[in-house]
Chain A
């Protein structure tokens, strides 16, 4: 069993819809949670970062962490074709520790 599970998709939505992405994890020691966006043939780029449980909002993006359920989510409001990419969740146990990545979910936003 993988430490971090993520549905590979693809997730196809019409422009303007809400995109809902999630990851589950098995190790309760994870405390730092991130979402990376990766465009085709590019390296991942940090999108959102949260520490421990709670919500964080940044423009059209909202990240949620539920440590009791070992479940994290990313919501993209008013999705745009430019949001079409692969979204990777990542998490670490403590400062100074390495990141563990999910397999990524491919998202397609159709005009």
Chain B
């Protein structure tokens, strides 16, 4: 089925470790996003990309890095994991950035990350 695929679904990291959260979409969407969702909180934008080779910071980028070498993939890198990065991470994509045509975002099913 077409959509956004995130791996892994769950991960436990030790403080100081690094990891990459994978995100892939097969809808040929130009725009891709990484959000984190903390309990009882809304979605906070970490990084986004408007196309291959172009990325920009969202509201909470510290401690994360991204790259976008292809239209399909948008991995999120955590360097030197900290307990404050314990969260659920969602990747999303859209054909445009602002839903002018009402497409909305397509979200993946999330990666639950715990840093201990």
Q: What B residues does A104 contact at CB under 8 A?
A: 40-42
Q: Which residues of B contact A (CB under 8 A)?
A: 4, 33, 40-43, 45, 48, 50, 58, 90, 92, 96-100, 102-105, 107-110
Q: A43-B90, A44-B105, A98-B33 are in contact. List 5 more A-B contacts (CB 8 A).
A: A41-B109, A43-B107, A95-B97, A96-B50, A101-B42
Q: Which of A54-111 contact B (CB under 8 A)?
A: 88, 92-99, 101-104
- 18 contacting pairs across A/B (C-beta < 8 A): A8-B40, A32-B99, A34-B104, A43-B90, A43-B110, A44-B107, A46-B103, A46-B104, A49-B99, A49-B104, A88-B42, A92-B99, A95-B97, A95-B99, A97-B98, A98-B58, A98-B97, A104-B41
Please report the total number of A residues contacting B with Cβ < 8 Å. 27
Out of B4, B45, B100, B110, name the residue touching A98 (CB < 8 Å): B45
